[in-house]
Structure 1
Amino acid sequence: MRGDAIPARNNADWSSLSPQPPAILVRPTSTEDVAHVLRICSEAGMPVVPQGGLTGVSGGARPVAGCVALSMERFVGVENIDEAASTMTVRAGTPLEVVQKAAAERGLYFPLDLGARGSCAIGGNVSTNAGGNRVIRYGMTRDLVLGMEVVLPDGTVLTNLNKMLKNNTGYDLRQIFVGAEGTLGVVTRLVLRLFPQPVSTLAAVCGVADYGRVLALLAGARKRLGPSLSAFEVMWADYWEVAARRVPNVRDPLEGDHPFHVLVELQGSDEDIDGQRFQSWIEAEFEAGTVTDAALSQSLADVAAFWGSRDAASEFIQVLGPHLSFDISLSVGDMDAYAAACRDRLAARIDGCQAMFYGHIADGNMHIIAWVPGAPKQPDTEVYDVIYGLVREYGGSVSAEHGIGLTKKNYLSYSRSEPELALMRTIKRALDPGNIMNPGKVFDMPATGESRS
């Protein structure tokens, strides 16, 4: 497709960056199609921007001027579910929710879960190394990928659809492409690791008086719930005020105000034993003074309602208007101190700036929403400088699970050393000497003859 025939949706992703129409849109249906497109583009020196579900928020799938947008929206389908090996072979354009449902229909479970599950593509999840709600138990997306087929920039097809958990045969090449954001090639097919479907799912929302008790609650959950602990989500009071009291259809299961609300989830294999163990743990935390108030789920509907408060962030555009979203990692013990410092610095530097904090705290991931109410344009550069500058001071990561793309590349050096960045460029140069794959994303490549330091 060219010109006006290209749908507007392919001009941008969910980032706040302005749309950029591609020169050409292609929608392959086979690996051979992808290889053919890349071979032609490599010979012509034409940039290629891979696109999945276009739900990324860092600009990784936003076209660059004069590029070919290579959309995987027709490259979909579950090819195989191997129950004995607990694996699924799937095409990269398949929506995450389709993967989840296909596993569930066979009594299995694919644990990666995001708010955009109905729209995001599994290939995009792999290319950004998505995290989601249950990293504490199952790990990041890279921990769920056993095998991969990828097309290199020159059209070479690299196929290793490995189903084995143990395979130490030289370099683990799949991990080069996980999290590479389409800068090294196009992921086309994947072998995903599956797990037994949980027999029971229980959740509690706890009111906690201070961050020290939040950490004590986390320690108790890890000790008493063990590997059944599947989520530990922390919401500061500023977040809870908006999520539970201003977003429609979200109910507050607790009475009164609490400095912190913590959502704890257990996924187990014995409904009776799991329920008793979960309740006895909560009771012990009450007796220890760790928890001030708590609501325990009595049904799966309660579990879903509890998660509604955590997922309410997707509705904040309706409540807050335009705002900026951030995804960072920090040492778990530093998070409350970071939040206090960040709130103060934003207010001091930017008149009227407000911020709220929440996230998957147990795996070190904090989300931040910052905004100036009623501002005709949000002060993005100033906010980025404060938030990422503090991340550097605290020795954290400027991106926990949303990738670098365009919006964070100027801050990548805050979290990665120059030798690391130099090695990344060396890998990029080796696999994509023409710099056609998603150019300008993650980091800039020096032009021929320029210093590579």
Structure 2
Amino acid sequence: MIAQARAGECIQALSAILDRNALLTGADIPARNTADTSFLPPVRPLAVARPDTPQGVADVLRICAAHDVPVVPQGGLTGLAGGAHPIEGAVALSLERLQGIEEIDAAAATMTVRAGTPLEVIQKAADEAGFFIPLDLGARGSCAIGGNLGTNAGGNRVIRYGMAREMVLGIEVALADGTLMTSLNKMIKNNAGFDLKQLFIGSEGTLGVITRTVLRLHPQPGCTMAALCGVDDYGSVVKLLNGARRGLGPLLSAFEVMWPDYWHAATVRVPGIRRPVEGDHAFYVLVEAQGLDEQVDGGRFQSWLESQFEAGLIADAAISQSKADTLAFWRTRDAAGEFQTVLGAHCAFDIGLPVDAMDDFAKACRSRLEVEVPGCLSVYYGHIGDGNLHIVALVEGAATQPAADINRIVYETVRAFGGTVSAEHGIGTVKKPYLPYSRSAEELALMATIKKALDPKNILNPGKVIDLDVEAAS
């Protein structure tokens, strides 16, 4: 009864600072705020708060902290690990109204944006201003930049530009007690004390809620070159990657690898996907390079490809002659977004491994799944150039997927190969039981110490990523 009374008092206090459209309760809570894309069952939160200013976000946290009511931050709700999934009895803090590009500083090559702004809006604004935002995800049209930073998103071009944290110069964060910490730095060089922004990037809203950020802009590419290659063995894939790093240098922007099982699912099962390369190959590699001058950089790319053919590393290849060709190449890689429709319910994994171990891992993981989960299909693909492998696994036609067994097998194999259970999608609740597979007891204890320091009442996204109780965490 005391908890219910405090929850009621909290809602009453929130209603005093938020207008009617900014505080939703009961049947007025939209279905979209009851789940993210992690396949967890929907949960109706206590309320949905939708402030439209950074101070409004801080005020919501201050009130919830005063009434001991937990808060779950929500952005575009495209996460796959349950980080934004609501909790019963908690306030869902939606940033969907906290949108807008506040400034593009051409001299500093920076953009200041609000955390609820969709990534695609930011990309287009940069393009119109003659700049380039390298972060790119399949969910670009609906994912929000705050969530991208909260999970330290990766995407397709990490091999050249790094993870999301590499594009952040400044940040503003609402802390658990309602303090608004503004540090909207625009300088690349700023060593004045701790780099506090790094505490919050990748913490999935468990340490603070990002409200604004200063993003670093890059020069707009003048040309993009791509080739989709058929390769005969994994050793040649690794040699091709090393050759691309040496021969293309900073031009290399993506190196995507698809195993044959993925290639078949993408080009046979998904409608409308054209095979740029015919015939059967052991691996299919998409190499992309971005330059400034088509004549100079395009020629360099062509020469590099010819050298790889001469070295026997490429068996066959299709080379882009237009933007349409490049997009067609990428559609084979982005076809994974259609697997839910063509393959049905499945388990999806985002893991990191040493590059030279990836094929051995795939063989071992596939073998265990086939033996221990009869009828299990698993397909492998990913951003191999930055050590990130994706897996889709399922028993086709099963009324219910044996997710517990599939998860156990995949993550046990990851642990055996010295990998990480999360490369770019975060931990949330889905991967939380497996975090000790990739982090030592000492690391987990330090994470809990930081959580206790910044959120002693465990208000922010409780139960996600790390527990305050070190024993429970380890």
Q: Shared fold by TM > 0.5?
A: yes
| Cα deviation digits, residues 196-241 of structure 1 (max 9, x gap) | 0000001000000000000111111111110000000000000000
| Cα deviation digits, residues 157-208 of structure 1 (max 9, x gap) | 1000000001001111000000000001110000001000000001000000
Question: What residue in structure 2 maps to residue 60 of structure 1?
Answer: 83
**1:424 pairs with 426, 447, 472, which one?**
447
Residue 335 of structure 2 is aligned to residue 312 of structure 1? yes
Instruction: Tell whether the 8 Å contact from 2:388 to 2:423 is kept in structure 1 after alignment.
Output: yes
Matches within 5 A, 1:321-332: 321-332=344-355
Question: What residue in structure 2 maps to residue 126 of structure 1?
Answer: 149
Distance 2:56 2:242 in 1: 51
SS in 2 for 1:242: helix
Question: What residue in structure 2 maps to residue 257 of structure 1?
Answer: 280
Question: What residue in structure 2 maps to residue 435 of structure 1?
Answer: 458
| Cα deviation digits, residues 43-67 of structure 1 (max 9, x gap) | 1110000000000000000011100
Matches within 5 A, 1:174-323: 174-323=197-346
Instruction: Tell whether the 8 Å contact from 2:449 to 2:468 is kept in structure 1 after alignment.
Output: no
SS in 1 for 2:348: strand
Residue 403 of structure 2 is aligned to residue 380 of structure 1? yes
Question: What residue in structure 2 maps to residue 115 of structure 1?
Answer: 138
Question: What amino acid sits opposite 2:342 in the alignment?
Answer: V
Residue 32 of structure 2 is aligned to residue 9 of structure 1? yes
| Cα deviation digits, residues 5-56 of structure 1 (max 9, x gap) | 0000000000010001101101010011111111110011100000000000
SS in 2 for 1:120: coil
Question: What amino acid sits opposite 2:69 in the alignment?
Answer: M
Q: Report the Cα offset of residue 111 of structure 1.
A: 0.3
Instruction: Tell whether the 8 Å contact from 2:77 to 2:143 is kept in structure 1 after alignment.
Output: yes
Residue 374 of structure 2 is aligned to residue 351 of structure 1? yes
Question: What residue in structure 2 maps to residue 167 of structure 1?
Answer: 190
Residues 348, 451 of structure 1: CA spacing in aligned structure 2 closer, same or farther, 3 A cutoff?
closer
Question: What amino acid sits opposite 2:71 in the alignment?
Answer: V
Residue 64 of structure 2 is aligned to residue 41 of structure 1? yes
Instruction: Tell whether the 8 Å contact from 2:172 to 2:213 is kept in structure 1 after alignment.
Output: yes
Instruction: Tell whether the 8 Å contact from 2:36 to 2:79 is kept in structure 1 after alignment.
Output: yes
Question: What amino acid sits opposite 1:339 in the alignment?
Answer: A
Instruction: Tell whether the 8 Å contact from 2:135 to 2:157 is kept in structure 1 after alignment.
Output: yes
Q: Report the Cα offset of residue 89 of structure 1.
A: 0.2
Moved segments of 4+, more than 6 Å: 450-453
Distance 2:389 2:472 in 1: 36
Q: Report the Cα offset of residue 319 of structure 1.
A: 1.2
Q: Which moved more, 1:228-237 or 1:311-320?
A: 311-320
Question: What residue in structure 1 maps to residue 16 of structure 2?
Answer: none
Distance 1:306 1:275 in 2: 17
Q: Which runs of 5+ in 2 are unaligned?
A: 1-23
Distance 1:123 1:257 in 2: 42
Question: What residue in structure 2 maps to residue 446 of structure 1?
Answer: 469
Distance 1:74 1:212 in 2: 49
Q: What is the percent sequence identity of the aligned residues?
A: 64
Question: What amino acid sits opposite 1:229 in the alignment?
Answer: L
Question: What residue in structure 2 maps to residue 104 of structure 1?
Answer: 127
Question: What amino acid sits opposite 2:446 in the alignment?
Answer: L
Instruction: Tell whether the 8 Å contact from 2:444 to 2:473 is kept in structure 1 after alignment.
Output: no
Question: What amino acid sits opposite 1:166 in the alignment?
Answer: K
SS in 2 for 1:318: helix
Instruction: Tell whether the 8 Å contact from 2:156 to 2:254 is kept in structure 1 after alignment.
Output: yes
Instruction: Tell whether the 8 Å contact from 2:127 to 2:220 is kept in structure 1 after alignment.
Output: yes
Residue 170 of structure 2 is aligned to residue 147 of structure 1? yes
Q: Which runs of 5+ in 1 are unaligned?
A: none
Question: What amino acid sits opposite 1:68 in the alignment?
Answer: V
SS in 2 for 1:182: coil
SS in 2 for 1:63: coil
Question: What amino acid sits opposite 1:119 in the alignment?
Answer: S
Question: What residue in structure 1 maps to residue 42 of structure 2?
Answer: 19
Q: Report the Cα offset of residue 452 of structure 1.
A: 8.6
Report the RMSD for the aligned CA atoms in angstroms.
Answer: 1.1
Question: What amino acid sits opposite 1:371 in the alignment?
Answer: L
Residue 416 of structure 2 is aligned to residue 393 of structure 1? yes
Q: Report the Cα offset of residue 446 of structure 1.
A: 2.5
SS in 1 for 2:419: coil
Question: TM (normalized to structure 1)?
Answer: 0.98
Question: What amino acid sits opposite 1:426 in the alignment?
Answer: T
SS in 1 for 2:288: strand
Distance 2:67 2:326 in 1: 53
Distance 1:321 1:180 in 2: 31
Question: What residue in structure 2 maps to residue 31 of structure 1?
Answer: 54
Question: What amino acid sits opposite 1:352 in the alignment?
Answer: G
Q: Report the Cα offset of residue 429 of structure 1.
A: 0.4
Question: TM (normalized to structure 2)?
Answer: 0.94
**2:161 pairs with 118, 124, 138, which one?**
138
Distance 2:411 2:278 in 1: 35
Distance 1:209 1:300 in 2: 27
Distance 2:280 2:342 in 1: 20
Distance 1:222 1:446 in 2: 44
